[in-house]
Amino acid sequence: MYFYAILFLFLNFPLKVLGKDEPLSIEQVSAQISTFMKSGPTGTISTSVTSSSMLSGCALACSFLNFALPGEISYPNSTTYVYEESLYWSTQQAITSPTCRFTPTCTSDVSLAVLTVQVTQCQSAVKSGGHAAFTGASNINGGLTIDLLKLNQITVSPDKTQTFVGPGNTWFDVYSQLEGEGLSVIGGRVSGIGVGGLTLGGGISFFSGRYGWACDNVNTYEVVFADGTIHEVSYASYPDLYFALRGGGNNFGIVTRFDLVTFPQGDLWAGSQTFIYDNVTAAALNEAFYYIDENSMVDPYAQAILAYAYVQSIDTYIIASDLQYGKPVANPPILQNFTSVPGAVANTLRITNLTGLTQEFNASNPSGFRQTYWTLTTQNSATLIADIVEIFMQEVSTIKDADAVLPSISFQPIGTDMISHFSKNGENALGISAADGPLNLINIVVSWSNEADDERIMAAARNLTDRANATAYAQGLGNRFIYQNYAALEQDVFEGYGEENKEKLRVVSERYDPKGVWQKLQPGYFKVNP
Ligand SMILES: Cc1cc2nc3c(=O)[nH]c(=O)nc-3n(C[C@H](O)[C@H](O)[C@H](O)COP(=O)(O)OP(=O)(O)OC[C@H]3O[C@@H](n4cnc5c(N)ncnc54)[C@H](O)[C@@H]3O)c2cc1C
Ligand SMILES: *[C@@H]1O[C@H](CO)[C@@H](O)[C@H](O)[C@H]1NC(C)=O
Ligand SMILES: *[C@@H]1O[C@H](CO)[C@@H](O)[C@H](O)[C@H]1NC(C)=O
Ligand SMILES: *[C@@H]1O[C@H](CO)[C@@H](O)[C@H](O)[C@H]1NC(C)=O
Ligand SMILES: *[C@@H]1O[C@H](CO)[C@@H](O)[C@H](O)[C@H]1NC(C)=O
Ligand SMILES: *[C@@H]1O[C@H](CO)[C@@H](O)[C@H](O)[C@H]1NC(C)=O
Ligand SMILES: *[C@@H]1O[C@H](CO)[C@@H](O)[C@H](O)[C@H]1NC(C)=O
Ligand SMILES: *[C@@H]1O[C@H](CO)[C@@H](O)[C@H](O)[C@H]1NC(C)=O
């Protein structure tokens, strides 16, 4: 429990400028806040009803941080607040209103906020790129939102084997800077996604066949712990916490720097082919998917995403095959089962670079809509894909009249080449081993515009997920994995990592966060020890 505020309320400390560089203890922060409450920022006893002595909870946290770190707090309707709120991808997150937004400029500022929310008992949220879709994932009504926007360093090590990346960056920032040097890292496939959330939840890249997921390619994390202290977390320094950060989401501290494995990377061959749905084309593409998942280890430079979507304006289903090859080689043999399917009505396959490609995908995933993400994982089967697409069409038929609705379901291989990298530096927390693979990772996404449709759209997405999963299990093709970065809030992500890893994560949480700060005071998103 949090006795500090009460304990230190009765002590009188002189109010001084807080050190910007050295983190304080919770006792010191309590003392500062209690003095701030008594004297107000000017040091004079105030009798105004709006004086700091009247404040509590988040109003006090915001007011104190505004005093201690001038310029880093913004309030509703200010230019900064409105701008930062506009950076969320989904409408549900963008319309969420915290009491204030805090935009730290260095790691010790983050540390001060972590202690301040404990002393004041103010609930908080942390935002990196703001692409998590559901309400409260990285923003909080009435709370304090820590926006990592200004922790935006991108520094390549002198030997060019790692890049030190702040969580304020999007992948566009990272790729466009590294591209000029002929380098890259493992990150998102859409330019606007943030470095923080994607990496902490797993992180699938165009190059994951060669290197694994983003969480398998972080050498060191700089982390602010719940007690405000700052640590360099690597496999060597904290193996248990390092394991937990590789898929554990926002349960283990605020990461203020990711040291990313860096490798030479030039242009690639990539883009999408789009087809109007018919069952013969679908069967050929599902078959191509099956074989690339089975054969991924033959050429780990290749990646594919197979997606089905309903296009409301023409009342038609389309199929897209998004293909990527990590070298500037057109139509390599590994992808020819896709490219030989006739009848594409659009084709953007070309030699491009990562920035160009991720900008193309950013443009096809616009912000400014209501959004829901759901996921399940199955074993690899072309006919199971067809069965699930049939369920998709049935559920979509119940929502196809909703304003601006855009439902899609995508299938991605988790091939044995990818899985082989999950055991780098110990292992990641996802609970997938070579014996499970190859797998098919399914992502259900619906975007729409009218709040009045929320309930039936959520019901259809939930039904689709449940029915697809039941169908897979009934055919002996089920898998427990639930990918955090694609999951709806009500899905049990950590159960999907398996009992053993779920328990390991709970133990690491209790060890590094005995007071449950990340569980209770940062309530949004998926919790390992709720
Ligand atoms: C259009 C689109 C495309 C996508 N493409 C991909 C893809 O190619 N590959 C893939 O794997 N996933 C993909 N995703 C899923 C994506 O990885 C998740 O939505 C992810 O959570 C986004 O990260 P973010 O930093 O932008 O989100 P945020 O909403 O900012 O953060 C998500 C969660 O992580 C926490 N968090 C973020 N940074 C930190 C930090 N530094 N310390 C502690 N906690 C932190 C937040 O508190 C929040 O709970 C995509 C999503 C969208 C919407
Ligand atoms: C912000 O502005 C809107 C519209 O001008 C107003 O309705 C709202 O009350 C304002 N909010 C605050 C907290 O000032
Ligand atoms: C396509 O649908 C038709 C008519 O329903 C059916 O006869 C045919 O077998 C289907 N073909 C495939 C490949 O599923
Ligand atoms: C392409 O599909 C055929 C079956 O139609 C399969 O035998 C072959 O292995 C596939 N090729 C690749 C590279 O996956
Ligand atoms: C990457 O492609 C974009 C156009 O899509 C181009 O503007 C940019 O210069 C390219 N970068 C490099 C390093 O070639
Ligand atoms: C991605 O697209 C959104 C609009 O949907 C835009 O606001 C944002 O700037 C884009 N991000 C990048 C990195 O280009
Ligand atoms: C699928 O069903 C299994 C077995 O009932 C269950 O354990 C799992 O959580 C379900 N997965 C999803 C994504 O609902
Ligand atoms: C969801 O499934 C249940 C039972 O399977 C059904 O009663 C309900 O109508 C379905 N809802 C939607 C929106 O499809």
CATH code of 178's domain: 3.30.465.10
Helices (H), 406-495: 416-420, 454-474
pLDDT single digits (tens) 147-176: 999 999 999 999 999 999 999 999 999 999
Residue type, 277: Y
| Interhelix angle 454-474/382-396, nearest 10 degrees | 160
CB 430 within 8 A of CB 497: yes
Same structural domain for residues 305 and 255? no
Q: Is residue 221 assigned to a domain?
A: yes
Same structural domain for residues 67 and 182? no
Same structural domain for residues 300 and 379? yes
Q: What percent of the chain has pLDDT over 90?
A: 92
CB 328 within 8 A of CB 268: yes
Q: To 10 degrees, the CA torsion angle through 259, 527, 139, 490?
A: 120
440 Cα–ligand 4 center, Å = 17
Question: What pLDDT is attached to residue 488?
Answer: 98
Question: What pLDDT is attached to residue 305?
Answer: 98
Cis? peptide before 98, omega within 30° of 0: no
Other beta carbons less than 10 A from residue 182's beta carbon: 12
Residue 146 belongs to what domain range? 2-150
Same structural domain for residues 377 and 345? yes
Residue 278 Cα: closest atom of ligand 3: 1
16 Cα–ligand 1 center, Å = 38
Q: How far apart are CA 75 and CA 87, in angstroms?
A: 16
pLDDT single digits (tens) 64-101: 999 999 999 999 999 999 999 999 999 999 999 999 99
Q: Is residue 193 assigned to a domain?
A: yes
Same structural domain for residues 170 and 233? yes
Mean pLDDT across the chain: 94
Work out the pLDDT band at 48, boundaries 50, 70, 90: very low
240 — phi, psi (to 5°)?
A: -70, -45
Q: How far apart are CA 154 and CA 165, in angstroms?
A: 5
Same structural domain for residues 135 and 30? yes
283 Cα–ligand 3 center, Å = 9
| Pick from 210, 221, 202: nearest CA to 184 | 210
Strand runs labelled E in 252-365: 254-261, 263-264, 268-276, 302-311, 316-325, 346-347, 350-352
Pocket of ligand 2 (CB under 6 A): 76-77
Question: What pLDDT is attached to residue 21?
Answer: 64
Work out the pLDDT band at 255, boundaries 50, 70, 90: very high
Same structural domain for residues 392 and 490? yes
75 Cα–ligand 1 center, Å = 25
| Pick from 277, 319, 327: nearest CA to 302 | 327
Residue 1 has pLDDT above 80, yes or no: no
Same structural domain for residues 469 and 490? yes
Once rounded to an integer, what is the mean pLDDT over residues 274-284? 98
Ligand 4 pocket member 337 (CB < 6 A): yes
385 Cα–ligand 7 center, Å = 17
DSSP secondary structure of 369-426: BEEEEEEEEEE--HHHHHHHHHHHHHHHTTTTTSTT-EEEEEEEEE-HHHHHTTTTTS
Same structural domain for residues 289 and 348? yes
Residue 388 has pLDDT above 90, yes or no: yes
Same structural domain for residues 200 and 274? no
Report the nearest-CA residue for atom 1 of ligand 5.
353
41 versus 421: which is more confidently predicted? 421
CATH code of 296's domain: 3.40.462.20
Once rounded to an integer, what is the mean pLDDT over residues 1-8? 39
Give the domain-ending residue among 109, 132, 150: 150
**Pocket probe mutation, ligand 6, options 85, 367, 371, 406, max atoms within 8 Å of Cβ:** 367
pLDDT single digits (tens) 99-156: 999 999 999 999 999 999 999 999 999 999 999 999 999 999 999 999 999 999 999 9
Give the domain-ending residue among 150, 165, 193: 150
CATH code of 25's domain: 3.30.43.10
400 — phi, psi (to 5°)?
A: -70, -15
Give the gyration radius of the chain's Cα atoms: 24
Q: How far apart are CA 436 and CA 479, in angstroms?
A: 8
| Pick from 387, 386, 406: nearest CA to 396 | 406
17 Cα–ligand 4 center, Å = 68
Residue 6 has pLDDT above 70, yes or no: no
Other beta carbons less than 10 A from residue 56's beta carbon: 13
Which H helix or E strand runs over 376?
Answer: strand 370-379
Question: What pLDDT is attached to residue 56?
Answer: 82
Once rounded to an integer, what is the mean pLDDT over residues 15-31? 75
Q: How far apart are CA 460 and CA 42, in angstroms?
A: 56
CB 362 within 8 A of CB 191: yes
Once rounded to an integer, what is the mean pLDDT over residues 25-36? 95
**Pocket probe mutation, ligand 7, options 439, 469, 482, 492, max atoms within 8 Å of Cβ:** 469
Q: Is residue 426 assigned to a domain?
A: yes
Once rounded to an integer, what is the mean pLDDT over residues 212-219? 98
| Pick from 214, 185, 205, 17: nearest CA to 112 | 17
Q: How far apart are CA 527 and CA 491, in angstroms?
A: 11
CA angle 155, 158, 160 (to 5 degrees): 80
Q: What sign has the CA pseudo-torsion 182, 185, 191, 196?
A: negative
Q: How far apart are CA 318 and CA 21, in angstroms?
A: 54
479 Cα–ligand 7 center, Å = 8
Q: Is residue 483 assigned to a domain?
A: yes
- Three-class DSSP category at 443: strand
466 Cβ contact list (under 8 Å, min separation 6):
none
329: left (phi over 0), alpha (psi -120 to 50) or beta: beta
Work out the pLDDT band at 214, boundaries 50, 70, 90: very high
Same structural domain for residues 251 and 325? no
Q: Is residue 248 assigned to a domain?
A: yes
Residue 467 has pLDDT above 80, yes or no: yes
Residue 14 has pLDDT above 90, yes or no: no
Residue type, 70: P
Q: Is residue 450 assigned to a domain?
A: yes
Ligand 7 pocket member 467 (CB < 6 A): no
Strands 350-352 and 346-347, sheet pairing? unpaired
CB 118 within 8 A of CB 57: no
Question: What pLDDT is attached to residue 494?
Answer: 98
Beta bridge partners of 382: none
Question: What pLDDT is attached to residue 22?
Answer: 75
Q: Is residue 338 assigned to a domain?
A: yes
pLDDT single digits (tens) 294-353: 999 999 999 999 999 999 999 999 999 999 999 999 999 999 999 999 999 999 999 999
CA angle 406, 412, 416 (to 5 degrees): 170
Same structural domain for residues 222 and 133? no
Pocket of ligand 1 (CB under 6 A): 89, 125-132, 137-138, 148, 167, 188-190, 193-194, 196-198, 200-204, 249-250, 254-255, 365, 485, 524-525
CA angle 454, 455, 461 (to 5 degrees): 90
Work out the pLDDT band at 4, boundaries 50, 70, 90: very low
Number of folded domains in the chain?
A: 3
| Pick from 464, 128, 440: nearest CA to 292 | 440
Residue 199 has pLDDT above 90, yes or no: yes
Residue 76 Cα: closest atom of ligand 2: 13
- Three-class DSSP category at 334: helix
Q: Is residue 525 assigned to a domain?
A: no
Question: What pLDDT is attached to residue 40?
Answer: 66
pLDDT single digits (tens) 170-195: 999 999 999 999 999 999 999 999 99
Please state the pTM of the whole predicted model: 0.95
Q: What sign has the CA pseudo-torsion 517, 504, 429, 489?
A: negative
Work out the pLDDT band at 18, boundaries 50, 70, 90: low
Once rounded to an integer, what is the mean pLDDT over residues 395-412? 98
Burial 212-251 (b: 16+ CB within 10 A, else e): bbbbbbbbbbbbbbbbbebbebbbeebebbbbbbbbbbbb
Give the domain-ending residue among 87, 122, 150: 150
